[in-house]
A and B are shown apart, each in its own frame.
Chain A
Amino acid sequence: MSLPSLTTPELKCTVTEGPEGLTFIFDGRAESVAAREALRSFLASADQTARARKAAQVKVDFGPLIFINSSCFKEFVLWLTTVSQRPVAEQYRLIFMANPGVRWQRASLHSLATFATNLVEIA
């Protein structure tokens, strides 16, 4: 299975695969209807890829992300919900990274970590 891709005029995600597993680096603005739809499709593919690789963890970097609105943020909530509803043996951990100088990133990732305490770690 090839790595998923997300490239829209306003939002993109760079996906890499290394010794530590998959890393997703989000860049741009996640705030339009088109971005939300692209994000939904991309995160479904990201989940399929992680499962196909039997990943123990994936890294998700919000650092370069300029903004995410609540509709797009919900797509990450749905991703966590999907993973959490599987048997534990089929789950993987999500390690989120924020730019420490950006308050909304810290706050939003803290919300995700509280929402899915057994899955999410903030690096």
Chain B
Amino acid sequence: MSIRREETLLVVSLCFPRLELAHLEHVRGFLNFLRLAPHQVGEDLLSDLTVSAHELMENAIKYGRDDGATLELRAPPREPSRLLVRTKNKASQRDAGRAGALVDRLTRGDPRAVYQEVLRESAARAEGSGLGLMRIAAECGMTLSTRFHRGVLHIDAWSNARRTRHEPAVADYAGAEVHRDRGP
């Protein structure tokens, strides 16, 4: 793990030299240092960042090509109220296109409605969940974007607000309304 100051306020990187699912156990601990700043990063935001980091990294390991992958947490100075989780890994044009298409689908509609559609599609498929990016957008309220340049796929997940322990999360699921007239 490396921490450095650049043009951004803070960049923390975790490099995975080999793409092995067993390495995922390090991802959650990677962000635990944020608990040192409880006034800036509350438990809800930490949960969102952790789920995002885990799902992005799992995708990078499953679909990335050799040469490893990098997980970054960025705090840009121009947008101090937002935090960014980013993965970078080599990918095929096909897999990069699939990731981009999923993100496009999420940005064209309500992420929660799209997520429910994808849950139904996923239930009809034997293998693969296709739910990782959906969880990040719909359950964590993060904003996703992708970039594919020179064979390297970047997937960014932005938090929409830096929430403290005393501020509500993007969505208060405990009080969310569930419409009971729609079946699966």
Seen from chain A, the residues whose Cβ lies within 8 Å of a Cβ on chain B are 29, 31-33, 67, 69-71, 73-74, 77-78, 80-81, 84, 100-104, 106-111, 113-119, 122
The B interface is mostly helix, strand or loop, or mixed, namely helix
Q: Which of B25, B51, B179 has the most CB of A within 10 A?
A: B51
The 6 closest A-B pairs by CB, nearest first: A107-B139, A70-B131, A106-B173, A103-B47, A74-B129, A110-B173
Query: Are A118 and B180 within 8 A (Cβ)?
Result: yes
The A interface is mostly helix, strand or loop, or mixed, namely helix
- Closest-by-CB residue of A relative to B139 is A107
- Closest-by-CB residue of B relative to A36 is B129
Q: Chain B residues near A78: list those with CB within 8 A.
A: 123
Stretch at the interface among B9-17, B111-119, B151-159: B111-119
Query: Are B129 and A111 within 8 A (Cβ)?
Result: no
Total CB contacts across the A-B interface at under 8 A: 98
Query: Are A115 and B24 within 8 A (Cβ)?
Result: no
Q: Chain A residues near B132: list those with CB within 8 A.
A: 69-70
Q: Chain A residues near B181: list those with CB within 8 A.
A: 117
- B:105-162 near A, CB below 8 Å: 112, 115-116, 119-120, 122-123, 129, 131-132, 134-135, 138-140
Query: Are B123 and A110 within 8 A (Cβ)?
Result: no
